[in-house]
Chains A and B, each alone.
Chain A
Amino acid sequence: MESVASTAKDRLIKSTKRKNHGESSGKVIVTLAALIIIAATLSMTIFLSIKGMQAFIINGVNPIEFLTSTEWNPTGENPEFGAFPFIFGSLAVTLMAALIAGPLGIGGAIFMTEIAPSWGRKILQPIIELLVGIPSVVYGFIALTIIVPFIRDYSSGTGYSLLAGIIVLAVMILPTITTISTDAIAAIPNHLRDGSYALGATRWQTIWKVLLPSVMPSLWTAIILGMARAFGEALAVQMVIGNVRDLPGSIFDPSATLTSIITLNMGHTTYGSIENNTLWSMGLILLLISLLFILIIRFLSARRKI
């Protein structure tokens, strides 16, 4: 009896040892992977922070003026560096794109999960995957060919406008919002639906008063993630927004975003010049605002209810 027990114990100990070998080499590999990711992110952040501050520290650009002035004239006699129109442009296209894509995406998600879970999802899912797969230059090209002339026909301007940027971004972030919302709504446990229907609620009441409030934090996360993508998108926006340095008076006026100004000017400014450094400062602002988006998402996911 005793000997059987001890051999079994031995075997157990041995097998654990063998497992430990694989365990430690696996641990080294994944730790290394994690360290590389951390190092890459940190070094980029530090580099961007240093470059972004140079305009203020070395070139003496007034940071308040940079953030609030509407005069952007880096090459004139008295160069002025007011980036407010671009910050405004970025925020405006992002917010308004989310305003369009948010309800559409969440509506689509409700349709796929609650109204027609069988065929609705079969049709919409591939469409959404297709939308994700289209490169942003193609979005821009399509918008340039169709939306810009359309807006030109119906407004007084050239068609290159804030509105064109908003529309192209709304379409681009639609898949993000729809996918995350769909996953969130589909993950709601069925017993919540049953609980509501068993009280005599209609489908609409169940969706509106139980399901959506239950996943509100996730739906906001979906919208913020979409906004983060819209905020960082450069190419498609730059192709249709017009890229002027003035504040737009209406959504039919041309405008510019931080990203579009960076991509337009980085090629023809010399490294280390004031103008080049102010582009880096804009990059830093992009990073900080993205960080803000991430913080909001963190905050929201901590508040998840189910």
Chain B
Amino acid sequence: MTLVVQKKAAFAMEELNLWYERFHALKDISFQINKNEVTAIIGPSGCGKSTFIKTLNLMALRIPGVKMTGGILFENQNLVTDKTDLVHLRKKVGMIFQKGNPFPQSIYDNVAYGPRIHGIKKRCQLDEIVEEALKRVALWQEVKDRLKRNAFDLSGGQQQRLCIARAIATKPTCLLLDEPTSALDPVSTKSIEELVTELKENYTIVMVTHNMQQAARISDKTAFFLNGEVVEVNTTNKLFSNPEQKETEDYITGRFG
């Protein structure tokens, strides 16, 4: 299969299909995700949006019985058909989950985990990476005096920011966020949203959200998923103000979902 890819595309999906055993979860997904943009994935529960974001770093393969066909082009490689180096892929494509999931270790060790498993052992180098990552997520001021404390002592919003710091410590180019604020209070949600907007200068960001206002607030492009299919992909402004498809309009005006 030959994929026609725009220069600025980070990921290019081409007729991507995914099955859980017999269940056809993603059907002929074809669209492109641009570099240094925030792409929001919206859609009702069970539409495949979380499944889709897990294909971008092949975390979907961890689920037993998963089968994929088609193409996801990333760094000139088809993640679906080529033998992908998972370690390299996941180093380059970081993921942030619904609920902050720090390891039960110190704040420092959490952030240093990625660099360490990728072979960085020198203390001074790690110190630098940890400080830089924590500064990037605006957590440094709050935790710099207690880096040795357990990460579980942090609040929910801080834990989520720590997980973002942990992800960017491996120096990725893309960040996948799977409903990153669904378990957070409004204040923490706002700080994460601001952070995402800042991060898009350096990272390609794909964010699943069930919160349409959130998608409208911070994304550049939005993809609307329904029953495992992409109904519409457009700039966020266009999709929310003047959707092309009837289903999109029904969903964003709250007629279902």
A-to-B contact residues, CB < 8 Å = 189, 191-192, 194-202, 205, 209-210, 213-214, 305-306
Determine the distance from Cα of A196 to Cα of B95 in the docked complex, in whole angstroms: 10
Nearest neighbor of B96 in chain A, beta-carbon distance: A198
Instruction: Enumerate chain B residues within 8 angstroms of A214, measured Cβ to Cβ.
Output: 103-104
Contact assessment for A205 and B117 in the assembled complex, using a CB-CB cutoff below 8 Å: yes
Contact assessment for B170 and A200 in the assembled complex, using a CB-CB cutoff below 8 Å: yes
Nearest neighbor of A206 in chain B, beta-carbon distance: B117
Nearest neighbor of A214 in chain B, beta-carbon distance: B104
Determine the distance from Cα of A125 to Cα of B90 in the docked complex, in whole angstroms: 34
- Asked, given contacts A200-B114, A200-B170, whether A192 binds B101 with beta carbons under 8 Å apart, the answer is yes
Nearest neighbor of B118 in chain A, beta-carbon distance: A200
Q: Is B87 an interface residue (CB 8 A)?
A: yes
Determine the distance from Cα of A194 to Cα of B103 in the docked complex, in whole angstroms: 11
Contact with A along B49-84 (1 / 0, CB 8 A): 000000001010010000000000000000000000
Determine the distance from Cα of A132 to Cα of B43 in the docked complex, in whole angstroms: 52
Contact assessment for A199 and B97 in the assembled complex, using a CB-CB cutoff below 8 Å: no
One of A199, A205, A210 near B94 (C-beta < 8 A)? A199
What are 13 A-B contacts with C-beta separation under 8 Å?
A192-B101, A192-B104, A194-B62, A194-B97, A195-B163, A199-B90, A199-B94, A199-B170, A200-B89, A202-B117, A213-B104, A305-B104, A305-B152
Instruction: Enumerate chain A residues within 8 angstroms of B57, measured Cβ to Cβ.
Output: 198
Q: Is B136 an interface residue (CB 8 A)?
A: no
Contact assessment for A306 and B170 in the assembled complex, using a CB-CB cutoff below 8 Å: no
Nearest neighbor of A210 in chain B, beta-carbon distance: B103
Contact assessment for B94 and A195 in the assembled complex, using a CB-CB cutoff below 8 Å: no
Contact assessment for B62 and A197 in the assembled complex, using a CB-CB cutoff below 8 Å: yes
* B117: min CB distance to chain A, Å: 5
Determine the distance from Cα of A95 to Cα of B251 in the docked complex, in whole angstroms: 65
Contact assessment for B103 and A191 in the assembled complex, using a CB-CB cutoff below 8 Å: no
Instruction: Enumerate chain B residues within 8 angstroms of A305, measured Cβ to Cβ.
Output: 104, 150, 152
Instruction: Enumerate chain A residues within 8 angstroms of B90, measured Cβ to Cβ.
Output: 197-200
Q: Is B113 an interface residue (CB 8 A)?
A: yes
* A109: min CB distance to chain B, Å: 18
* B208: min CB distance to chain A, Å: 14
Determine the distance from Cα of A113 to Cα of B77 in the docked complex, in whole angstroms: 33
Q: Is B91 an interface residue (CB 8 A)?
A: yes
Determine the distance from Cα of A305 to Cα of B87 in the docked complex, in whole angstroms: 27
